[in-house]
Structures are given as C-alpha cells and as structure tokens.
Amino acid sequence: MLYSKQCELSKVFTGTNVEDAIIIVEYDKLDSQSKIAMSNEIHRLVKMHNAPFDKAFPVIRNDFMAIADKYMIHPATLFCAYMSIAKDLS
C-alpha cells in the first residue's frame, strides 16, 4: 500500500503533479512480475551510470519516461514501483 508521502516523493522526482489517487490506483493494478520487470529496466540504467538513483535520475529521466509509457502508467507510479522493489535488486 502506498502512502501520501511516497506519492509526494514520486511527484518531486518525476516533476509531475498527478493526484495521489491516480498513482495509488495504477500501483495497485500492477502485478509483482510487472513491478520486477520495470524495476529491473530502471536498475540496469542506474548501474550503467554507476551512480545512486538520485544522482542518475536526471540523466535517465527520458528513459524513465519511456519505460512508464511502455507499461502505460504514470512516471510517478513507476517511481513508486521501483522504490518498492529496488532494495531487492542486486
């Protein structure tokens, strides 16, 4: 379950102002396989730049948006999905 603070953080990173409710609905519709797949795509990009996510994100922002489009979700939702999975990625 997502919380308002997580949604706010995702909006700050993605530079959007989508409503929390939209992020939560999209996030709740994602199955765990999709969350893992999209998170792996992002994780590969972050590793390519050899930087922590917060430092790599400005560089991969366009790729990040393309991944969100691929999964037909809002970039803020993708951010939340990645943050929920990132700790388990190596």
Distance of alpha carbon 38 from alpha carbon 11, whole angstroms: 18
pLDDT digits (tens, 9 = 90+) for 6-16: 999 999 999 99
**E strand or H helix at 18, and its extent?**
none
CA–CA separation, 79 vs 65, rounded Å?
10
Per-residue pLDDT tens over the stretch 56-86: 888 888 888 999 999 999 999 999 999 999 8
With beta carbons less than 8 A apart as the criterion, state whether 42 and 67 touch: yes
Q: Which residue has the tokens 């590969």?
A: 44
- Give Dmax (Cα) for the chain: 34
Q: Where are the domains of the chain?
A: 4-85
* End-to-end alpha carbon distance in the chain: 23
Q: What is the pTM of this model?
A: 0.89
